[in-house]
Amino acid sequence: MMLVGVDGSPASREALRWALAQAVKTGDTVEATMAWLREPEFVAAASMGVHPHADNPGHRHPARELHAIVEEVRATVPGAPPVTEVTITGDAGTALAQASRQADLLVVGTHGHGRLAELVLGSVAADCLRHATCPVVVVPPART
């Protein structure tokens, strides 16, 4: 199984695209994982059964966000397999490194620039390279 870290950035979309293209060739399964930190919220007194953020479009719904990203990227890869979608509350680098225990390959994007030897890794990619228990593929930004 290929585990892909997705955060909504162009870099993570490129990592998911790469993993899906590989899965078409190899028959591997793909799991897209979004880790997010829950923001502390102040909840004012509300009547029973009414959530104060129920109609707030600014309130983040990570599972819906992940699903939309997966569907968008899958549409760009001919023959793309279904993707298992997982959301985890916590630090992305730590969560992906822990989830890598059940993966054959971890795929993450990076926001770096320049040649590979000069590539500047983000903190999540660096954490994954240091702590993952499976091989890690770091997908550079798409060239335009």
CA end-to-end distance (rounded Å), the chain: 30
Spell out a b/e string for 110-132, using b for 16 or more CB atoms within 10 Å of the CB, else e: bbbeeeeeeeeebebbebbeeeb
Q: 102 and 82 in one domain?
A: no
Supply the Cα-derived Rg of the chain in whole angstroms.
17
Q: What is the pLDDT of residue 60?
A: 67
Q: How many domains does the chain have?
A: 2
Percent of the chain whose pLDDT exceeds 70: 74
Over residues 73-90, mean pLDDT: 95
Q: 141 and 101 in one domain?
A: yes
Q: 């993450």: which residue's tokens?
A: 108
Strand partners, 33: 5, 86
Q: What is the pLDDT of residue 25?
A: 96
pLDDT digits (tens, 9 = 90+) for 15-58: 999 999 999 999 999 999 998 776 655 555 554 454 444 444 45
Q: 109 and 86 in one domain?
A: no
What is the pTM for the complete model shown?
Answer: 0.79
Backbone phi, then psi, for 134, in 5-degree steps?
A: -135, 170
Please indicate, yes or no, if residue 12 is contained in any of the structural domains.
no
In the structure, what pLDDT confidence band is assigned to residue 121 with cuts at 50, 70 and 90? low
Q: Structural domain of residue 27, as residue ranges?
A: 23-37+59-90
